[in-house]
Amino acid sequence: MKLGICLPQMGSQSDGRQVASFAAAAEDLGYESLWVSDRVLAPREPSDLYPVGGTSQHPYPAQFTAVLDPIVTLTAAAASTTSVRLGMSTLNALWHNPLLLGRSLTSLDLVSGGRLDVGIGLGWLQDEYDAVGVPWTGKAARLDEILDVLRALWNDNPVEHHGPLFDITSSYNDLTPAQRGGPPLLLGGFGAAALERVGRRGDGWLPVWGLPAQYLASLWQIARSAAEDRGRDPDSLRREMRINIAPGQTMSDVATICDEIDAMGIESAFVDLNYVTDTVEAAVLLAADLMVCREGSPAGVGG
């Protein structure tokens, strides 16, 4: 199983000046992918609680009060690395105009030499949608049309789109991604409709560690069945499992989780240290410790 790691992006690690050095260190340690997430607002009285453990006293992780822009963060990482994949778990594409987003993602794929994986989710906080002027209702339909626009931008020249929400007149489109057909589109979600969309039009799924293995397997079967129904090869779909490390967990504990994920047949996973480290230096030390726990040395991870 391939292993990745989240970049320093949140809370006390949102300074930004050490993103490039962390990315280079993670690549040297043998991590095979670098990841970012997406938050734009930390309301004092939020409309919704964080779905992973939010309470009225602590509605979301304290780190959410300061979050670097995901595309800028990945660009810094791209410039300081040569081989690691660059992923998003997840970018909330619905907050963006898809034409402008497509230009940014295409540019990042070119800057990185074709190493971008575009992970897209719908988010969970209505306040963020209200603040960026995007309706909370109709999210699924908006996502489908944004995916239509991205696919068109990455495959058609001239490009043209006429939909309920967005309209692009027939235009020359010579800016194309380094990856033929565009960066892989990995989709989040934990409902039947979300997994059906993965199989119908995605390149993979972004699950989160902590749900029962049987439930994860049943969701994955929905995606595979949807792919078959569309004449797509279900074996071409991939999974990238997020591991949110909790306070008190050792890197030996995390290595055991990685073994369990590997045994489930999941191709790749990545760990997030933003919640358990206060400095980038501490994150690098833990990242190195995890590699030692997994392999006995920092070398040779992946495959």
Of 69-83, 235-249, 283-297, which range is least confident?
Answer: 283-297
In a domain, 169, yes or no: yes
Query: Whole-prediction pTM value?
Result: 0.95
- Kindly report the CATH number assigned to the domain that includes residue 142: 3.20.20.30
Contacts of 245 (CB under 8 A, 6+ apart): 254, 271, 272, 273, 275, 276
Please compute the mean of the pLDDT values over residues 32-55 and round it to a whole number.
96
% of the chain exceeding 70 in pLDDT: 97
What pLDDT does residue 52 have?
87
Strands annotated E in the chain = 2-6, 33-36, 85-88, 116-120, 159-162, 167-171, 185-187, 204-205, 238-244, 268-272
Inform me whether the pLDDT recorded for 20 exceeds 90.
Answer: yes
Q: Which domain holds residue 109?
A: 2-183+240-295
Q: Would you say residue 231 lies in a domain?
A: no
Question: Which tens digit of pLDDT belongs to each residue from 75-91?
Answer: 999 999 999 999 999 99
Pair 242, 89: CB distance under 8 Å: yes
The phi, psi pair for 72, rounded to 5°, reads -65, -40
Cα–Cα dist 246/249, whole Å: 6
* Domain presence at residue 69: yes
Give domain status of residue 223, yes or no. Answer: no
Residue 217 in domain: no
**71 falls within a domain:** yes
Token pair for residue 140?
Answer: 């699924």
Tens-place pLDDT, residues 172-215 = 999 999 999 999 999 999 999 999 999 999 999 999 999 999 99
Q: What sign has the CA pseudo-torsion 258, 260, 261, 266? A: positive
What are the C-alpha distances in Å from 293 to residues 63, 198, 256, 257, 299?
27, 33, 9, 11, 11
Statement: residue 93 has pLDDT above 60: yes
Q: Which of 174, 184, 176, 231 is nearest to 204 (CA)?
A: 184
Of 203, 207, 182, 179, residue with least CA distance to 265: 207
Q: Is residue 262 part of a domain?
A: yes
pLDDT value of residue 169: 98
- From residue 151, alpha-carbon distances to 38, 183, 184, 202, 302 in Å are 22, 10, 10, 11, 30
Query: What pLDDT does residue 296 have?
Result: 55
How many structural domains are present in the chain? Answer: 1
Q: Rounded to an integer, what distance in angstroms lies between the CA atom of residue 88 and that of residue 50?
A: 19
* SS3 assignment, position 129: helix
**70 in a domain, yes or no?**
yes
Residue 227 has pLDDT above 90, yes or no: yes
Structure tokens that stand for 148 in this block: 């239509």
Over range 269-276, report the average pLDDT: 96
